[in-house]
Amino acid sequence: MTRQKAAMLAALVLLLAIIPMAYLWVTFLQEDETVQDTALVHEVDIELQKQALFALSQSSSEQSLKHLIEFATTHAHPEVRKQAIFWLGQKQSRAALEALDQIAEEDPSLEVQKQVLFAYSQMSQEVGSPRLVRIARSHEHREMQEQAIFWLGQQGGEDALALFDEIIAGEAEVEVQKKVVFAFSQMSNDIGVPRLITVAKGHPNDEVRKQAVFWLGQANDDRAREALVEIVQRQ
């Protein structure tokens, strides 16, 4: 790394570290009549920090990656952590993946954890899909499970289908099963429509069946129309 690049990197890191401290100092002084709208000052600083993260992400150095991981895992502001997570997702190095896995389980903010799911969804299936499957199957927060199911539905693949079939056939919460039904509706007709038909005709829960019927009605597919007619004709 050239001396000039090293100096630029050091300046970016210093900027990301100092701005939160400056905000705290401004907040401490907020009773002074010269301080106006500290919330606005903070908002501007966050945007500047995001820009600094983008600049860091353009470097291929190990030091830049280390700083991105540090900010993704420890920065005080969730929006900055989310932005660092986005750029970590583009790196896909072993260190970046380990950091993302940790954040998905341990970050105190669900919104930050969800950003990790998006990062997984942008990766190759062999890297991202197993991680999304793990979270969809066993994460302690239902919102995370549902979000993982959504991204698996967009990503597709055998791992996603196997998990979806398992959830529909099992005893998962109704809201989680309804998210799987939606995921089926986003797949190609050859994959999604037969599964929607199976759910619409035979699932034990009324709400889940109704959801499947709704999405069959949106499908431009002869099999879907025939299934709907059969359901109406049942005695």
Q: Which pLDDT band, with edges at 50, 70 and 90, does 3 fall under? A: low
53 contacts 83 by C-beta, under 8 angstroms: yes
pLDDT in tens, 69-127: 999 999 999 999 999 999 999 998 999 999 999 999 999 999 999 999 999 999 999 99
pLDDT at 22: 43
Taking the domains of the chain in order of start, what are their residue ranges?
Answer: 1-27+38-123
| Burial tier of 112 (Cβ tally within 10 Å: 0-12, 13-18, 19+) | buried
- Measured CA to CA, the distance from residue 80 to residue 92 in angstroms comes to 19
CB 183 within 8 A of CB 150: yes
**Predicted confidence (pLDDT) per residue in 118-132, tens digit:** 999 999 999 999 999
What's the pLDDT score for residue 44?
52
pLDDT score recorded for residue 92: 80
